Chains A and B, each alone.
With several copies, the nearest count.
Chain A
Amino acid sequence: MTEISQSQIERAIQTTCKTVLRNELYFSDLDGLAGDGDFGTSLATGYRVIQNDWNDIDKSNIGAMLLKISMLVSKHVGGSSGPIWGTGFMKAAMLSKGKEAVTLQELTDMLGSAIEGIQARGGAKLGDKTLLDALIPVHETLKGHCASANPDLGRALCDCADVAEKAIEETKTLVAHRGRASQVGERSAGTPDPGIVSIAVILNDWCKEFGVERTATAAEVLNQPA
């Protein structure tokens, strides 16, 4: 079955660092519309350390690397994002312990486990207007590709970016039920969720990094700083 190498995962993470740092203010501004405006800064604080400490991160295998990343997040990211992203990396690390490559099925399971962990940690479900509203459809998409005889990684990534982007628009009118945005009640309706936007933007940047052609359509993805 189609494999994803450790070096591909490393590239994805390095790309994510750049995406998050470039969007620090933009993500915080989005969070400011209905939340407390700390999302971009909290996330960037962690990814800045990942980028700076990149050479010191244990890369003996995927699991070890993801575990270390989860630890850096736990140490440096505050707010709700620390536990959410830290839990996600931790769960993915546990399913990739000792591995130097993972199959698409394994990657899909890693994401599934991350989603379960995030749900257990924060109690959010689909439709609560959190980044799970992007991650869950992405996970479903990956499951679909796993089921095909000879899955194409590029096609899979492109489809994931599409569903994440779609989630932005689809959840915009919802009222947030989790996180600080949930405490402004109706005021959160009509604004995009910064967590969902961040997932869509990251996936879109991955497409670019891995040479997967795709045209973003959501304003929130197009608007991100160059």
Chain B
Amino acid sequence: MKKFVNDPAQFVPEFMKGIAQANPDLLDYTPEFQMITRKGGPNNSKVSIVQGSGSGHEPAHVMAVGPGMLTGACQGAVFAAPPVDACYETIKACASDAGVLVLVNNYQGDRMAWDMATEMATAEDINVKQFWINDDVAVEDSLYTVGRRGVAGNFFVIKACGAAADQGKSLDEVYAIAEKVNNNVRTMGVALTSCIPPAKGTPIFELGDDEIEVGVGIHGEPGRRREKIHSADKITEELFEAVSKDIPFNSGDRIALMINGLGGTPITELYVMYAKAHDLAEQAGFTVVRNYVGEYCTSLEMAGASLTILRLDAELEALLDAPAETAARIF
């Protein structure tokens, strides 16, 4: 394992400290709960949006806090749901008269922690609703009784809900937007390599030099199948096919198209995939209204990518257009 780490047990608090130091005007950091909130806290006349999950998916979760996005978020250890108290404190720190929407990717550990936190907050008369994001089409049903996983589609749910909340929409209205986005967004990923959680020190899975894992999860969970690597175009076709057939999306749809890097893949390779995905979208009769190429929901340094399609309508287009600011930035 070669990484920029000190004590692996301090990896999460150390990088959170860095995020906080880099964004003093934007964010507040509470080390005790590995919690980051918008500078100045919640606005009582606006719905707050909170999230929290295992670390290792950055910029997902804590780097999505800021105007037009999340009100606050907390992080667990790498790939482990945050402790219940961190979730509870995040809800409390973001409590608003207009209500709090807990918007979390669908994993068992996260669900349990946020369920308990929500119960605790509700007992204190905080108005909380929960919404579970589950856009990953890789795992169809089955065994996986906690349901489909939430992955990069998460970004769109946050973006749309964050914009709606900041525009003064009610808790029920923001919840309805979360539902609409989640119902219309689908993702599938592919891994070229495994990642290595710092505390574990070894890869989550082993892939041959010429193998890829199609449908991989963002914690290295196995996907649909392992295959021999093939061309970027063929891989993109496979992802596009799986994603676009799932809802299904229809000719004439206006869409947002995302190629999300899983952490170790350079931006140029993502654009090679985007070029193909864009062509496929046009061939399918979709209009690509917005696009997103880069890292939105990663798996440490895993080489790989996911493809996300979101069906738009006028309301969602306006919400994606709205201004937003987070620790993830260029300038």
CB within 8 Å of B: which residues of A?
28, 32, 36-38, 41-42, 71, 74-80, 82-84, 86-87, 121-123, 175, 177-180, 182-185, 187
Contact of A36 among B79, B115, B145 (CB under 8 A): B79
Q: Which chain A residue lies CB-closest to B76?
A: A78
Q: B residues within 8 A CB of A180?
A: 107-109, 219, 221
A residues in contact with B86, CB < 8 Å: 75, 78
Given contacts A37-B197, A78-B76, A82-B113, contact A179 B81 (CB under 8 A): no
CB proximity of B66 to chain A, nearest CB, Å: 24
Cβ–Cβ contact A183 & B139, under 8 A: yes
Q: Which residues of B contact A37 (CB under 8 A)?
A: 197, 200, 204
Tell me whether B83 and A36 are in contact (CB under 8 A). Answer: no
Q: Are B144 and A183 in contact (CB under 8 A)?
A: yes
Question: Which residues of chain A come closer than 8 Å to B145, judged between CB atoms?
Answer: 123, 177-178, 182
In the complex, which residues of chain B have a beta carbon less than 8 angstroms from the beta carbon of A179? 108-109
Bound together, the chains give a CA A103 to CA B225 distance in angstroms of: 54
The yes or no answer to B112 lying at the interface (CB within 8 A) is yes
Is A78 a contact of B109 with CB atoms below 8 Å?
yes
In the complex, which residues of chain A have a beta carbon less than 8 angstroms from the beta carbon of B221?
180, 183-184
Name, among B83, B149, B221, the residue most crowded by chain A CB atoms within 10 Å (CB to CB): B83
Contact of B80 among A42, A87, A178, A183 (CB under 8 A): A42
Sorted from nearest, which 6 A-B pairs have the closest CB atoms? A83-B112, A78-B76, A79-B80, A74-B84, A75-B85, A80-B109
Q: Are A182 and B84 in contact (CB under 8 A)?
A: no
Contact B197 A83, beta carbon cutoff 8 Å:
no
**Residue of B with least CB distance to A82:** B83
Chain B residues near A (Cβ < 8 Å): 54, 76-77, 79-86, 88, 107-109, 112-113, 115-116, 139, 142-146, 149, 197, 199-200, 204, 217, 219-222
Q: A121-B116, A178-B145 are in contact. Are A83 and B84 (CB under 8 A)?
A: yes
Give the residues in chain B near A74, CB-CB below 8 Å. Answer: 83-85, 88, 116
B144 pairs with A86, CB closer than 8 A: no
Residues of A within 8 A of B143 (CB): 175, 177, 182, 185
> Chain A residues near B113 (CB, 8 Å)?
78, 82-83
B113 smallest CB distance to A (angstroms): 5
User: Once the chains bind, are B109 and A79 in contact (CB under 8 Å)?
Assistant: yes
Known: A178-B145, A180-B108, A185-B222. A82 touches B81 (CB 8 A): yes
5 contacts between A and B (CB under 8 A): A74-B85, A83-B113, A87-B116, A178-B146, A185-B222
In Å, the complex CA distance between A117 and B84 comes to 15
Q: A38-B77, A177-B143 are in contact. Are A121 and B222 (CB under 8 A)?
A: no
Whether B144 pairs with A84 at a CB distance below 8 angstroms is no
**Most chain A CB within a 10 A radius of its CB, from B108, B139, B200:** B108
Query: Within the complex, what minimum Cβ distance (angstroms) separates A194 from chain B?
Result: 14
> In the assembled complex, which residues on chain B have CB atoms less than 8 Å from the CB atom of A178?
108, 145-146
A76 touches B83 (CB 8 A): yes
The smallest beta-carbon distance between B67 and chain A, in angstroms, is: 28
Least Cβ distance of A175 to chain B in Å?
6
CB pair B219 A78 closer than 8 Å: no
Given contacts A74-B85, A80-B109, A180-B109, contact A41 B115 (CB under 8 A): no
Do B112 and A182 touch across chains, with their CB atoms under 8 A apart? no
A121 to B142, CA, bound (A): 21
**Additional A-B contact list (17), CB under 8 Å, known A82-B84, A83-B112:** A28-B200, A38-B199, A41-B77, A71-B85, A76-B85, A78-B77, A78-B81, A78-B83, A79-B54, A79-B109, A80-B109, A82-B83, A83-B84, A86-B84, A175-B143, A183-B221, A185-B142
- Bound Cα distance A74, B142 (Å): 31
The CA of A76 and the CA of B82, in the complex, are separated in Å by 9
Minimum Cβ distance to chain B for residue A75 (Å): 4
Residue of B nearest to A36 (CB): B79
Are the CB atoms of B84 and A184 closer together than 8 Å? no
Residues of A within 8 Å of B107, CB to CB, are: 180
Q: How far apart are the CA atoms of A71 and B204 in the complex, in Å?
A: 31
